[in-house]
Chain A
Amino acid sequence: MIRMLPARAHTRLMTLRFAGLIVAIWAWNSAAAQGSSAAPDSTQRQIDALAQSLKAVQAQLQELMQQNRALLQRQQELEQQLAKTLPAAPSPAVAAQPPQNPVPPASPTPPPPSGPSPAANASSPFGDLRLWGYGEIYYTRPTHDEKESQADLARAVFGIGYVFDSRTEFNSEFEIEHAVSSADDPGEFEVEQFYIDRRLNDAVTLRAGLFLMPFGLLNEHHEPTNFYGVQRNFVETLIIPSTWREGGFNLHGDTGFGLEWNAGLTTGFDLSKWNFAPEFPLYTTALELEDSDSAPLQTTHQELALANAQHLSQYAALGYYGVPGLTLGAAISTGDAVKVPAPPNVPIPGNQRVTLWEGHARWTPGNLDLSALYAHGAISNLSIANASNPGSPNPIPSQFYGYFVQGAYTAWNQDDYRFAPFVRWERYDMGSRYEGTSGPVVPTGLVPISANPGDYGYWPINQDRVWTVGANFYTSPHLVFKADYQWFHYNSDFSRFDLGLGLAF
């Protein structure tokens, strides 16, 4: 729409000017008609007047033609600028942001979208500045524990980008979680991305700053229009700590035959933040599970907030989209973490290394949208740390993993409307192996779950199998209504019904 504005304005202007000309000719005609019946001595005066009018009309016509040429020239300039900022062969390297087309991509799968959306790019009122945003609102009702029902403006995110030149651009996103952020409220205000991209050549781009890690299907494309289900899946929340970002730099690019690559050096994890002795469960509902920072990497990632940078992590990611309708990807990150505080006078030999890897696939034949993902994390050298905290309900796991398979089907698609039911099965285990302990001491029976007298519940366990069945209903590519139901195998009280509203622009 915005891109069309100059041409439409031009057309409208021309219409007005030609209308003026027609009025002038009509006036001349009617004057001539009147003149035929007028006295001869006045005829010469009328001819003079008409000649003057004609001159005036000619001058106006000249002026209009000049303006028309100027407008055409301006339109050509704008189109050239647009062509520069939207290269014909987009680099997948800058795929991260801002939000792109909603799932599923029309079959065949297009290459990962590049750079800011056209609408954002052409925000001519702001010149080289670009704005975008997304957000989501949940309603969640645990069906076994309805008093825990909640409604939440889970996130409102605003993006700001700036194109410095044809090779350099800046992108950032600022997020408010849970609506209100203050000392007395549960919300957070955080910088989710803040980086510079500099294209070194057509194949390689350098990125530096705080950026999203290219892991999984969701982490970089986490706008609510981009995933099925009201909430993000658990594997890409609890194992891959979406929205996972680190500070550092990377090189990324595209081979031109459907293979994209990305490798970088970033900040890592801080295990000294670990809480071995939670008095009460860190979460008692599925919603709290997602928000509680209880998962191994959720609770230890640093988000570039005075991040300890003694150790850096390395990562590499590959993606392949060369076969229409198919996307394959894998990534690995590894690096030494800030160590768990050791007992005094006990040097813990060596480092504690955090490694996370994942593989994923997505296939979109026809109206189907099938995807699967496996992610596995490991933390080394934990035996002393865990052994010095016996009886802990929350020791640090040395291994954790999760995987899911998901199928969606576009059952109805008309104009911008689209209705796509889906089903997902996922398995996560936030502590599949431990060193120095046999595992968390999980209290049994009804236990106090807060300091409020009489507030009893069951202590959750840190693994589950979850079925999710639901549907996304798009009224446009930018706006989606969602509903789903989730069954939890182990933490059965977490089972819940969800409604959601998501938007991205």
Chain B
Amino acid sequence: MLRKSVAGWGAFGLAMAIALSGCGGSVAGGAASSSASSSAATAAAAAAAAGKAIFFDTSLSVSGQQSCSTCHVPSHAFTADPVTDHGLPVPLGGPNMDQTGFRNAPSLMYASFTPPFSLSNGPTGGFFRDGRASSLAAQAQQPFVTPFEMANSDAAEVVGRLRNSAATLAAFVAAYGESVLSDPEATLQDMGLAIAAYETQDDEFHPFSSKYDYWLQGQAQLTAQEQNGLNLFNNPTKGNCTACHPSQAQGYSSHALFTDFTFDNIGVPRNWLIPANTQGSVSPIDGAPESTVLTPVDVPADAEYAYYDMGLCGPFAPSQSDVNARPILSATTSLCGIFKVPTLRNIAVTSPYFHNGVFTDLHQVLEWYVTRDINNNTGNNPNPVAAGPGGNPYEAVGTFYTAANGTPDLYEYNDLPVEYDANVNVGEVPYTPPTFGGGQAPTLSAADIDDIVAFLCTLTDGFDPQNPTAYNVPAQCQPTAATSAAR
């Protein structure tokens, strides 16, 4: 541990030592201090350069085909590319690239603004979707030794591969020195620090270059539709999106990050395309191509299905090597099914959506949000809202809660054991819609949804105010046939 500590902070420690000697020991303090700060900058840049080399180096995986960038693709706002993953909502990995993961890979963009995990005002912060890693560096180490990802058996195997990757090794040694390589654990921790330095320092991860950012600065015009979408996004009884995805700066950055880093259980439907969901489940499996799934832990004995991903309370526990990680919360059943709120920046290019990737386009997501409890047409819905004048305009969409065979599921929140249904957020708009004349109607019309999606598309980075027509937003930013038909 001591060696790790010394080695891990070697580059920065050296810079600090230079800085201190510059301030205290030199007559020409100003010049020396300036030199020291430039040394610190040099060291930090070296760490980021090493991180970038590691980030893209597939030779560090057992398969030789997977790096961080395999599941966090720059052109997809550092989320996974569904084509690479054979259309699955979870990445492929493992020694032969045929094992599936359990969760939709989150975007790494703006991740460096995430605060450490805390329970003091309700769960907040931390890394991974369940906040189980204490820092970006602690998170970045884990995929190297995760069996269904890069699949190294331990840190020593990772370091062995690093030694065999000349360019990456050179960048690493330039930042952290050579001596640390003799301690694999310390080396892996330094690799995590290097990746974190890259993700923190490189503007590619947080350019704040969306059309929305330029609009705030008066250098772009939102269309009437986009502007109305933002209004609805902020309106507490329409979208109320800003309640968890604030469009105001929150103190983590001077920019709005469109997440407050809290956790919530919103009862998303089960995604039958995740192979882990189909293993041994009561419902039949309708063809899952990749099915080599590890045995999950912490599965309730009376589960309707054999496996549930319950976020903060499991199945994944913090790594033992992460000494600052949050506690294991599997016994805290009130936290079961709770996941961290993601940023909505670049949301238009980070499909699929939610921790299980159950939805592939934003219209679907919003339709589900506003009809979740009034049109689920599942076995436990006491008051389904019929279509017709003044009724539910989304009935044609049908229920989002299906069994593996596509028929309506018996239970609404079917990706959560029934005994944890009370954990689902049912108190906030848009789940709790306003009442009109004694009935309930969705808070958003189909046109409203089109407008909010149009606004969400303005959160895509890469807007050029000099050349606005070159702004690359995906097809889903356009009104859909389904919602247009429902207008």
CB <8 Å contact, B436 and A445 = yes
CB <8 Å contact, B218 and A276 = no
Which residues of chain A in 173-206 are interfacial with respect to chain B, using CB atoms and an 8 Å cutoff? none
Report if B59 contacts A (CB, 8 A): no
Report if B434 contacts A (CB, 8 A): yes
Report if B259 contacts A (CB, 8 A): no
Q: Which of B238, B248, B249, B427 touches A448 (beta carbons < 8 Å)?
A: B427
Report if A343 contacts B (CB, 8 A): yes
Which residues of chain B in 255-308 are interfacial with respect to chain A, using CB atoms and an 8 Å cutoff? 255
Q: Which of B255, B432, B434 touches A344 (beta carbons < 8 Å)?
A: B255
Nearest CB on A from B166, distance (A): 41
A452: chain B residues at CB < 8 Å are 427
Contacting chain A: which of B26-34, B225-233, B314-322?
A: B225-233
CB <8 Å contact, B236 and A451 = no
CB <8 Å contact, B428 and A448 = yes
Q: Which of A276, A344, A390, A459 touches B237 (beta carbons < 8 Å)?
A: A459
Which residues of chain A in 399-456 are interfacial with respect to chain B, using CB atoms and an 8 Å cutoff? 441, 443-448, 450-456
Q: Which size class do A's interface residues fall under?
A: 20 to 34
Report if A66 contacts B (CB, 8 A): no
CB <8 Å contact, A391 and B427 = no
CB <8 Å contact, A393 and B248 = no
Nearest CB on B from A181, distance (A): 20
B434: chain A residues at CB < 8 Å are 443-448, 456
A341: chain B residues at CB < 8 Å are 249, 254
CB <8 Å contact, B436 and A277 = no
Looking at chain B's contact residues, the main secondary structure is: loop
Which residues of chain A in 347-391 are interfacial with respect to chain B, using CB atoms and an 8 Å cutoff? 388-391
Q: Which of B216, B218, B235 touches A393 (beta carbons < 8 Å)?
A: B235
Nearest CB on B from A222, distance (A): 34
Name the residue in A276, A277, A450, A459 with the highest tally of chain B Cβ atoms < 10 Å from its Cβ.
A277
CB <8 Å contact, A447 and B237 = yes
CB <8 Å contact, A344 and B254 = yes
Report if B22 contacts A (CB, 8 A): no
Report if B23 contacts A (CB, 8 A): no
Report if B246 contacts A (CB, 8 A): yes
Nearest CB on A from B248, distance (A): 6
CB <8 Å contact, A451 and B231 = no
CB <8 Å contact, A346 and B218 = yes
CB <8 Å contact, A448 and B237 = yes
A288: chain B residues at CB < 8 Å are none
Name the residue in A392, A444, A452, A456 with the highest tally of chain B Cβ atoms < 10 Å from its Cβ.
A392
Which residues of chain B in 97-115 are interfacial with respect to chain A, using CB atoms and an 8 Å cutoff? none
Nearest CB on B from A412, distance (A): 50
CB <8 Å contact, A389 and B248 = yes
Report if B156 contacts A (CB, 8 A): no
Report if B426 contacts A (CB, 8 A): yes
CB <8 Å contact, A448 and B432 = yes
Report if A40 contacts B (CB, 8 A): no
Nearest CB on B from A329, distance (A): 40
CB <8 Å contact, B231 and A391 = yes
B254: chain A residues at CB < 8 Å are 341, 344
Report if B343 contacts A (CB, 8 A): no
A280: chain B residues at CB < 8 Å are 236
CB <8 Å contact, B246 and A346 = no
Report if A127 contacts B (CB, 8 A): no
Report if B429 contacts A (CB, 8 A): yes
Q: How far is the CA of A463 from the CA of B436 in the complex (A)?
A: 24
CB <8 Å contact, B240 and A279 = yes
CB <8 Å contact, B427 and A390 = no
CB <8 Å contact, B231 and A453 = no
Report if A34 contacts B (CB, 8 A): no
Nearest CB on A from B353, distance (A): 22
Q: Which of B216, B240, B427, B435 touches A453 (beta carbons < 8 Å)?
A: B427
- Chain B, residue nearest A448 (CB): B432
With A343-B217, A344-B254, A345-B217 given, is the CB distance from A447 to B247 under 8 Å? no
Report if A125 contacts B (CB, 8 A): no
Q: Which of B235, B249, B427 touches A451 (beta carbons < 8 Å)?
A: B427
B243: chain A residues at CB < 8 Å are 277, 279
Q: Which of B234, B429, B435 touches A391 (beta carbons < 8 Å)?
A: B234
Nearest CB on A from B369, distance (A): 14
- Chain B, residue nearest A452 (CB): B427
Q: How far is the CA of A290 from the CA of B487 in the complex (A)?
A: 43
CB <8 Å contact, A443 and B236 = yes
Nearest CB on A from B282, distance (A): 29
Q: How far is the CA of A446 from the CA of B433 in the complex (A)?
A: 9
Report if B200 contacts A (CB, 8 A): no
Q: Which of B216, B238, B240, B429 touches A343 (beta carbons < 8 Å)?
A: B216
Report if B330 contacts A (CB, 8 A): no
B213: chain A residues at CB < 8 Å are 343-344
Q: How far is the CA of A392 from the CA of B242 in the complex (A)?
A: 10
Report if B208 contacts A (CB, 8 A): yes
Nearest CB on B from A445, distance (A): 5
Name the residue in A279, A450, A454 with the highest tally of chain B Cβ atoms < 10 Å from its Cβ.
A279
A344: chain B residues at CB < 8 Å are 208, 213, 216-217, 249, 254-255
Q: Which of A343, A346, A441, A445 touches B231 (beta carbons < 8 Å)?
A: A441
Nearest CB on A from B417, distance (A): 20
Q: How far is the CA of A346 from the CA of B254 in the complex (A)?
A: 11
- Chain B, residue nearest A451 (CB): B427
B238: chain A residues at CB < 8 Å are 391, 443
CB <8 Å contact, B235 and A445 = no
- Chain A, residue nearest B425 (CB): A451
Q: How far is the CA of A278 from the CA of B428 in the complex (A)?
A: 12
- The contact string, 1 if C-beta is below 8 Å from chain A, for chain B 14-44, is 0000000000000000000000000000000
Name the residue in B208, B248, B429 with the highest tally of chain A Cβ atoms < 10 Å from its Cβ.
B248
Which residues of chain A in 278-323 are interfacial with respect to chain B, using CB atoms and an 8 Å cutoff? 278-280
B230: chain A residues at CB < 8 Å are 390-391
B217: chain A residues at CB < 8 Å are 343-346
Nearest CB on A from B212, distance (A): 10
- The contact string, 1 if C-beta is below 8 Å from chain B, for chain A 443-482, is 1111110111111100100000000000000000000000
CB <8 Å contact, B236 and A388 = no
CB <8 Å contact, B242 and A451 = no
B429: chain A residues at CB < 8 Å are 279, 447-448
CB <8 Å contact, B247 and A277 = yes
CB <8 Å contact, A388 and B216 = yes
A276: chain B residues at CB < 8 Å are 234, 248
Nearest CB on B from A395, distance (A): 10
Nearest CB on B from A218, distance (A): 33
Q: How far is the CA of A268 from the CA of B436 in the complex (A)?
A: 44
Nearest CB on A from B349, distance (A): 22
CB <8 Å contact, B427 and A279 = no
CB <8 Å contact, A346 and B216 = yes
Q: How far is the CA of A453 from the CA of B227 in the complex (A)?
A: 30
- Chain A, residue nearest B435 (CB): A446
Q: How far is the CA of A392 from the CA of B208 in the complex (A)?
A: 23
CB <8 Å contact, A279 and B216 = no
Q: How far is the CA of A391 from the CA of B429 in the complex (A)?
A: 15
- Chain B, residue nearest A394 (CB): B236
B227: chain A residues at CB < 8 Å are 390
Name the residue in A345, A444, A451, A454 with the highest tally of chain B Cβ atoms < 10 Å from its Cβ.
A345
B234: chain A residues at CB < 8 Å are 276-277, 389-392, 441
CB <8 Å contact, B435 and A393 = no
B248: chain A residues at CB < 8 Å are 276-277, 389
Q: How far is the CA of A344 from the CA of B249 in the complex (A)?
A: 9
With A343-B216, A346-B217, A447-B434 given, is the CB distance from A277 to B246 under 8 Å? yes
B233: chain A residues at CB < 8 Å are 391
A residues near B (Cβ < 8 Å) are 276-280, 341, 343-346, 388-393, 441, 443-448, 450-456, 459
10 A–B contacts, CB within 8 A, in A order: A341-B254, A343-B217, A346-B218, A390-B227, A441-B235, A445-B436, A446-B434, A446-B435, A447-B236, A459-B237
B residues near A (Cβ < 8 Å) are 208, 213, 216-218, 227, 230-238, 240, 242-243, 246-249, 254-255, 426-429, 432, 434-436
Ranked nearest first, the 3 interchain pairs of A and B with the lowest CB-CB distance are: A391-B231, A391-B234, A443-B237
